[in-house]
Homo-oligomer: A and B are copies of this chain.
Amino acid sequence: MSVLIVGSIGLDTIKTPVAEHGDLLGGSASYAAVSASFFSPVNLVGVVGDDFPKAHVDFFAERKIDLCGLQTEPGKTFRWSGEYHTDLNTRSTRSIELNVFEHFTPTLPPEYNHTEYVLLANIAPSLQSHVLDQMSRPRFIIADTMDLWINIAKPDLLALLKRVDMLILNDGEARELTGENSLIKAGRLIRHLGPRYVVIKKGEHGALLFGEDAFFSCGAYPLEEIHDPTGAGDTFAGGVAGYLASLKHTDGVTFPILRKAVVYGTVLASFNVEAFSLERLRTLKPEEIEERYRTIRKISHFDAEV
């Protein structure tokens, strides 16, 4: 089955302590769509300006990402520039130019309305809700978010949460949204805001998955070097959504399936941070994904009897 992915598409300039690159393919939907495309067909909804390089469009097409929902507007593409500090754990935004993204309203081509799986990648929660308004009962809806929306659009975010099956957010955002320092409490509290499932991403410490009376703790893939953390969360979310859409499960999405989806999300994110922008995903092979999946199993399991 297909997964509909809506979010930002942009051109990034990224500086790390060791390198700087400009005009990179970026944006939450770009990372998520390419990541999901390793598992299932993707319907991409987003906006770019008329300066958006054809090479990036071709890359999406090569990944078999359906581009009927990619709007091209007169003007410039959304641009973001950021700088990572010494340990790559903190970053500052150097500049943002919204450009054509400023007035973006995601409009679904009619043939997308019935997509079974939906990933609302990180954009304003009002736009995420607007996407759902156009859809007829998807099987499973995942939303990603960020601290900005918790700060400036909390009512919109809370309204959205009542409509999604899973929220994905990072540890700092979970604490901010709930006012709880304990991530275990925070995860459970967010479930009471609507989503049946919550994933809290902890970067190098892995991810926590919360369900009703169910919990899963996924370690990170052990990487010695990280070259660019940009888009790791979006790639994670794309991997989760793509894996779910790839399954022929007639019983719906179960907790054991979600556990595996979180592991696949972790694997995809681990590749993505190995190079700038989406470069590593360009050469990624399915067998490499399976190898890291098996590695995470090997380093997480400690007892043959399950």
Contacts and interface: CB of A to CB of B under 8 A. Distances in A.
A136 to B, nearest CB: 32
Contacts of A259: 302-303
B182 A224 contact: yes
Contact of A303 (B188, B220, B225, B260): B260
Interface in A181-195: 181-185, 188
A121 interface: no
Contact of A206 (B216, B219, B256, B303): B219
Given A183-B204, A222-B184, A225-B182, A299 B260 contact: no
A220 B208 CA distance: 11
Contacts of A151: none
Interface in A292-306: 297, 299-304, 306
A90 to B, nearest CB: 12
Interface in A177-235: 181-185, 188, 202, 204-206, 208, 215-220, 222-226
A87 interface: yes
Contacts of A225: 182
Nearest to A222: B184
Given A185-B224, A202-B205, A205-B202, A216 B302 contact: yes
A87 B217 contact: no
A203 to B, nearest CB: 10
Contacts of A202: 205
Q: Which of A184, A185, A226, A303 has the most CB of B within 10 A?
A: A303
B263 A302 contact: yes
Nearest to A295: B215
- Tell me which of A218, A220, A302 has the highest count of chain B C-beta atoms within 10 A of its own C-beta: A302
Contacts of A304: 306
A287 B204 CA distance: 33
19 contacts: A86-B181, A87-B181, A182-B224, A184-B222, A184-B223, A188-B224, A202-B205, A208-B222, A215-B299, A216-B302, A217-B219, A217-B299, A217-B300, A218-B302, A263-B302, A297-B302, A300-B301, A301-B301, A304-B306
